[in-house]
A and B are shown apart, each in its own frame.
Chain A
Amino acid sequence: MLSRIARNVYVLGQQIERAENIARILDVNRRMSLEQGYFSELDVWSPMLAITHSREAFDKRFDEVTEQSVMDFLIADADNPYSIRACIGQAREMARTIRERISEEMWLSLNRMYQDVERAGRLSNHIEFLADVRQFCSAFHGLVDNTMSHGESWNFLRLGVGLERARMTTRILEIKYHLLLPSLDEVGKPLDYHQWQALLRSVSGYEAYRRQYKARINPELVLRLLNLDPRFPRSVHFSIKQVVKSLKGIGTVNRDQYALLREAEYFLDDLRGGAALEQLQKSSLKDYLDSVQLRCHTIDDMINHSFFNSTTVTMSDSNKNLISIQIPQQQQAGIR
């Protein structure tokens, strides 16, 4: 399969997942800010910009951090790569180049969402729109699994979704340390409790939590569910499991690709065994989330290198054995 096509399918999955999670992040914030009346000094909107790494770009566009301006920036700003509009726009652009590889239903559904986002402009009803985006993304995943042949393209799409989901779940968890409580005394008090509950709901994890732990909201257990639970579909563990499955589905033919698969499998082992739990308990939440994001970043780099920009030539020698030859870097002047 052409690297460009594979990359475009991968990015398609990634962008759909990103759009969904931005909608979820905005939603958790909206839920948290409902309590704001009691704690008016609490700034719930600045953390949004920190999580999406877009504070700098935001400051160039807006003077003041308000609910309206942050919502506008993260929903409808075409120049902000972390806006829902930009994600859906890029997903559609990718889909256009791979029309023959995806199903007609996927294209129609994505194109309709794109038209809706483009038309949205300044929204009067954010809540409904964010719900629409989440609904669309879930429906899109259904179409992916039910209308697309489960071959190489499908695996690359799921690879993009899996890795992005692992990353975005940790971003959502970041909200908790960006969003400082008014005072340390509040830890374990109603406001803290309320925030954790809002966070759980935003990843559709409230019911799962209740059923799994049959306990009141306990931050440690929330972190376990969202990081280590093998069955909760938005946990880091579950997402990385999907990454490994997709990589195995695609197959490895050279050393770089094998190294990538091994890296993902080590990660999965750590999440499955005690290593990640131990780290979660011993180090600070921020250090833990940073290390997960770093590992996701490494895997993304390796995917780019070994699948999308591979300069390895694999051929059979005189004995029909597969041999790999690496084209040296200086020969690659023509590669863009």
Chain B
Amino acid sequence: MNENPSPLFSSAGAAPFDEAYASSDELRAIYRQAVRHFEAQGVDGVESLQHSADLSMLNQGVTFTVYSDARGTEKIFPFDLMPRIISAPDWDKVEAGVVQRMQALNMFLEDVYHEQKILKDGMVPTAQVMMSSLYCREMSGLNPPGGMHVHIGGIDLIRNATGEFHVLEDNLRVPSGVSYVIENRWVMGRVQPKLLNQYKVRPVDHYPQMLFDSLASLSTQDNPNVAVLTPGIYNSAYFEHSFLANQMGAELVEGQDLLVDRDVVYMKTTRGLQRVDVIYLRIDTEFLDPLAFRPDSMLGVPGLMNAYRAGNVALANAPGNGVADDKALYAYTPEIIRYYLDQEPILPIIPTYLGSREKDLAYILDHLPELVVKPTDASGGYGLLVGSAASKQELADFRVAIAANPDHYIAQPIQQLSTHPTWVEQDGQKGFFPRHVDLRPYAVCDVKGDVKVLPGGLTRVALRQGSLVVNSSQGGGSKDTWVLYPQNAEVPHA
């Protein structure tokens, strides 16, 4: 036996801010117990836990589809055993910041589809909104229930070198991933019940109820019929669609299951047509209604927008939200918060250079190697350039592409994402090594504008050493995210 076994944990290569290490040899208080717990297991113990967690995921069918894979095969979303732990005070700030953004962006959407005061007051350039391909003319003048547009939001956050949470991106259209939050906790409860019990962790499994309540509030019916509209089994997030529908007791429908008659939406059942009151949309707006948007859409429901306009069905999220979570509009979100709420933003954003602003464009082209460049119309980490990691050829190609189509790009200084101990193999050795993480909390908003944030969220982790891209489609994994109850607080019995 080796007298001095190499330690299970290493802080070598950690970012300036590491979630678990206050300094290279000192653990943060909330992580001490967890690290001790894993150290007691040894390499073989952790390996076998990881194995049973993976198996659990596979058996549950927790999979996603990768588009670049020609066969569209289903893969498991790699799950990391070491939980990401967030203290109550840290979470309070995140929660308040998310609520604030959801409220302000809801007001912004209601405004740009009605009076457009913010444009008239010159706080956001009119062209930025009205010329955007994401501005949805069909929504103009339409009155969604309660004037609410964002019912389900996912706000991507990162912690930079100072450890402060920053907003990276808003997802106000079809934010996905919340099923992993619930499944991850479920797997943790199976493979690490002791550790989970030692910490006072706030539960996340009530999310389907939160979602259902928020959706049901959009209808005036007593017992509204809620349906989840999915593009079908070939969609990368089909697992989540079916999971949420099952958990809410809602019907999982495809476009072909619905029909609109005299502005009323029905679903086709074996007992005849049944009225649908609320639809949780998991398909992109452009495919929603071939009469209003893309006429070649086979996924949508002809006449759905008319039924929506007539107030006979509620859609969540409302179509047209893309104009508010656009990567270029992001630069204006602090102004938007100040404008509508008369408050200072609780969560700062990352300085953003817009290709559409002449001064910014010059800066972008001069400083490419220090910037992350993102196309404004893509998500999921596709088409992204990390200047520091790019080859000369890639930089040159991007410079040409940006110059040719500057409105299409934004750039941000490369952020030192925080790191977190993660079970990987590094230099031929298995252990917990620092890997970059982000955090996506999920929030729902009811018809009265009351925003509830799920205490937890999806922590995505870049499994490759040094990689800053955490997207599941780009080889990222996920962690269970533990938000702790305030110390000495009464822990309610779940």
Contact = CB atoms under 8 A, between A and B. Distances in A.
Our verdict on whether A and B bind, yes or no, reads yes
A253 B272 contact: yes
A254 interface: yes
Given A2-B268, A4-B254, A310 B273 contact: yes
Given A2-B253, A3-B257, A4-B254, A331 B273 contact: no
Given A97-B233, A312-B273, A2 B302 contact: no
A87 B270 CA distance: 24
A2 B259 CA distance: 13
A253 B271 contact: yes
Contacts of A254: 271-272
B437 interface: no
Interface residues of A, number: 30
A275 interface: no
Interface in B250-296: 251, 253-254, 256-257, 259-262, 266-275
Contact of B269 (A1, A100, A327): A1
B270 A331 contact: no
B418 interface: no
Contact of A4 (B256, B274, B303): B256
Contact of A152 (B256, B261, B270): B270
B478 interface: no
B132 to A, nearest CB: 29
Given A253-B271, A314-B271, A314-B272, A331 B254 contact: no
B302 A100 contact: no
A215 interface: no
Interface string A1-36: 111101000000000000000000000000000000
A1 B272 contact: no
A333 interface: yes
Interface residues of B, number: 27
B270 A313 contact: no
Contact of B257 (A4, A250, A313, A333): A4
A313 B269 CA distance: 10
B374 to A, nearest CB: 35
A311 interface: yes
B251 A2 contact: yes
Given A4-B254, A333-B302, A100 B270 contact: no
B446 to A, nearest CB: 27
Interface in A28-80: none
Contact of B270 (A250, A334, A335): A250
Interface centre among A3, A6, A152 (most CB of B within 10 A): A3
Interface string B231-243: 0110000000010
Interface string A300-336: 0000000111111110000000001001000111111
Given A2-B251, A4-B256, A331 B269 contact: no
Contact of B272 (A99, A313, A336): A313
A112 interface: no
A156 B271 CA distance: 13
A134 to B, nearest CB: 29
A1 B269 CA distance: 5
Contacts of B33: none
A336 B270 contact: no
A309 B261 CA distance: 15
Contacts of A335: 259
B273 A2 contact: no
Contacts of A310: 268-273
A311 B303 CA distance: 16
A37 B269 CA distance: 56
A96 interface: yes
A4 B256 CA distance: 8
B246 interface: yes
A334 B253 contact: no
Interface in A235-287: 250, 253-254
Contacts of A324: 272
A87 to B, nearest CB: 20
Given A1-B270, A310-B268, A334 B301 contact: yes
Contacts of B269: 1-3, 310
Given A2-B253, A313-B266, A334-B301, A100 B271 contact: no
Interface centre among B267, B269, B303 (most CB of A within 10 A): B269
A331 B233 CA distance: 29
A188 B233 CA distance: 56
A100 B252 CA distance: 11
B223 to A, nearest CB: 13
Given A2-B253, A4-B257, A334-B301, A312 B272 contact: yes
B453 to A, nearest CB: 29
Contacts of A3: 257, 268-270
Contacts of A312: 272-273
Interface of B: 61, 232-233, 242, 246, 251, 253-254, 256-257, 259-262, 266-275, 301-303
9 contacts: A2-B257, A2-B267, A2-B269, A152-B270, A308-B268, A308-B270, A310-B269, A311-B272, A333-B302
Given A96-B233, A327-B261, 16 more contacts: A1-B269, A1-B270, A2-B267, A3-B257, A156-B270, A253-B272, A308-B268, A308-B270, A310-B269, A311-B259, A312-B273, A313-B274, A313-B275, A314-B272, A324-B272, A334-B301
| 6 nearest A-B residue pairs (beta carbon) | A334-B302, A312-B272, A3-B268, A313-B273, A310-B272, A307-B270
